[in-house]
A and B are shown apart, each in its own frame.
Chain A
Amino acid sequence: MKLNKTTRNRIGFYLFISPWIIGFLLFSILPMITSLYYSFTKITVLGLGRRAPEIIGFKNYIRIFTEDTIFLQSIKVTFVYALSRVILGIIIALLIAMLLNKKMMGKRIFRTLIYLPAIIPIVASAFLWRQLFSHDFSLLNYLLSFIGMPSINWLSYDNALTSIIIMSIWTGIGPTMIILIAALQNVPKELIEAAEIDGASIFAKFKMITIPMISSTLLYLFVTGFIGALQAYAEMDLLTSGGPGYVTTTMTMNVIQNAFSSDGSGMGYASAQAWIVFIIILIFTIIFFKLINKHVYYAGGEDK
């Protein structure tokens, strides 16, 4: 029997993408179905394989919204962290990108140096910042005293989240800056020059030309940064373990803590929490993509 061309083509296509299909089924779909099942059960990490999970219906979900103040608080912490980290990060990176987009001696070296924090492994930079944040006599507090400011207890109840945001901005500035420089280089020079001839101020040029021309990049950076930051875990786990008093416990961290705790919460409850995290992130993703489709014009044709 001879297969027609379309069928042969289709078989070829699926053969080529088969690694992804297998990976997708085994490491995305199967875990998600498993997770949905476990979210209706009660099982702890110690009970895994020893006893069958006990099905308890919607109890886990009800508990999330009625009893678990720590989780609700962690949602708030996560949003404060994500918003401030992403917005401040983009503003700072944009200022630096505009500066480094000008002709300048040593531009490449500056760019490399500012990028450097981004490639230091997160564990190494967390230990470094723990040192900087730690002591009354840390370098950071010394530099503050230099400009006449009092010592700060960086990882205290009031300051811990801000401190982690500072560290995250430090590590994240490089890639954001590189993307923004690339975007700025695509802003047509003629537009800027025309505005200069018309006597536009720096601020006017920025507001009327630069921002609209890079709006798609800004939105892209915000969306991916925000969705990434909503899943923050390592920074907090390494610097504060979520403390003091849960002020730096994020959603993801709370899920993991519950999953591997031996008390009543356990894996079933954590699965239910993970689904809530998923739904929260999904809602924001959908909203953002609606926004992108509505407000941003991409130069270039359709995807072929």
Chain B
Amino acid sequence: MITDLQLSKQRRKRKEMIYKSMRFFTALGIALITIIPFLWMVISSLQPNSSSLFYSPPRFPNPIRFQNYIDAIKEIKMFSLIWNTLILVFANMFLSIGASIFVAYGFARFRIKERNILFFILLSTMMLPWVVTLVPSYIIFNKIGWIGTRWPLILPAIGGNAFFIFLLRQYIMGIPVSLDEAATIDGCNRLGILFKIILPQCKPIIATLIVFSFTGTWSDYVGPRIYLASSPQLQTLSIGLQYFQSTNSVMPWHLLMAACVIFAIPMVVVMFSAQNALARGIVTSGIKE
């Protein structure tokens, strides 16, 4: 009897072990599949020339050519592209998060009859297809002579960002109103409450917004493509990467991949250093109120 029980226990344990390692190796396999294209991008960026990317079977770079990175930076004047991208990134970050803080506070802390309907309108603007406003916006910006300037890519941020406002409002509503009331008794006005009570508590969600805003503008493709097409000197990385194609008869894939790695590095750094901030934003966005 006893040995039987022990045996079945052992068997169950062994079965559990097998399942466990099966799960582990499946997860490892999936992680490898998703990561291989990215690794290939890095490997490609070190190949000695363009055609060595397409050997069959694939080869590791021999010799490894770090010079590709310098060549890539030189060929498309990458520093100026990075600079142009960063200007848009910081202008957008500052304006859209700043504006969103005020708007979110308004929606979170004022009890006004029409508040909910206005908030509903705000949420519906997230559903508005961007192509509907793209064409008329182009016409309007063209009228004021702003095509080929950075303004069309910066100015719309003054209204804040509907998604940011939504996240911030959710967060502010989680802060006890009693804190506000205590501050009011101490003679704080609304602005004082926002800056002294609410904002210090909002640090984690603002970190999330900084990550979102940074990644969004850094990677933006459509905006610069539409509005900066006539001004190469203002062009961002998204568009600048295509210069390899237009200036060479044969695509220098190894240089292009080096440029892509440089383009992706800040994103990877942001992801690893702000994992929690990023996850918080993604998860909150997945849970409706």
Binding site for B on A (CB under 8 A): 9-10, 12-24, 26-28, 30-32, 34-35, 38, 48-49, 96, 99-100, 102, 104-107, 109-110, 112-117, 119-125, 127-129, 131-132, 135-139, 142, 170, 173, 175, 178-179, 182-183, 216-217, 220-221, 227, 230-231, 233-234, 237-238, 251-252, 255-256, 259, 267, 270-271, 274-275, 277-278, 281-282, 285, 298, 300, 303-304
Contact = CB atoms under 8 A, between A and B. Distances in A.
A128 B116 CA distance: 45
A14 B114 CA distance: 11
Provide the main secondary structure of the chain A interface: helix
Contacts of A21: 159
Interface residues of B, number: 93
Contact of A227 (B102, B127, B160, B289): B127
Contacts, number: 265
B38 A116 contact: yes
A300 B54 CA distance: 55
Interface string B200-219: 00000000000000010011
Contacts of A114: 30-31, 34-35
- The interface centre, meaning the residue of A16, A117, A277 with most chain B CB atoms within 10 A of its CB, is A16
Given A20-B122, A123-B221, A26 B159 contact: yes
11 contacts: A27-B159, A48-B139, A105-B24, A106-B28, A121-B221, A127-B257, A179-B282, A183-B286, A256-B134, A298-B288, A304-B173
A249 to B, nearest CB: 13
Interface in B249-276: 253, 256-257, 260-261, 263-264, 267-268, 270-272, 275
Nearest to B269: A119
Contacts of A234: 221-222
B136 interface: yes
Contact of B267 (A99, A120, A170, A285): A120
A19 B129 contact: no
Contacts of A106: 24, 27-28
Contacts of B105: 16
B137 A16 contact: no
- The interface centre, meaning the residue of B56, B122, B261 with most chain A CB atoms within 10 A of its CB, is B56
B107 interface: yes
Interface in B1-41: 20, 23-24, 26-28, 30-31, 34-38, 40-41
Interface of B: 20, 23-24, 26-28, 30-31, 34-38, 40-41, 44, 53-58, 99, 102-103, 105-107, 110-112, 115-116, 118, 121-122, 125, 127-140, 142-143, 156, 158-160, 165, 173, 190, 215, 218-219, 221-222, 225-226, 237-239, 241-242, 253, 256-257, 260-261, 263-264, 267-268, 270-272, 275, 279, 282-283, 285-289
A238 B221 contact: yes
B241 A127 contact: yes
Contact of A20 (B140, B160, B263): B160
Given A113-B34, A117-B38, A231 B222 contact: no
Given A99-B26, A256-B131, A127 B221 contact: no
Contact of B27 (A99, A238, A274): A99
A119 B215 contact: yes
A216 B128 CA distance: 22
A12 B34 contact: no
Nearest to A275: B132
Given A10-B112, A17-B103, A137-B55, 8 more contacts: A16-B110, A49-B142, A99-B27, A100-B27, A132-B40, A231-B131, A274-B132, A277-B132
A30 B139 contact: no
Contacts of A138: 54
Contacts of A131: 44, 53, 253, 257
A84 B137 CA distance: 32
Given A104-B24, A259-B135, A275-B132, A142 B219 contact: no
Nearest to A27: B156
Contacts of A112: 271-272, 275
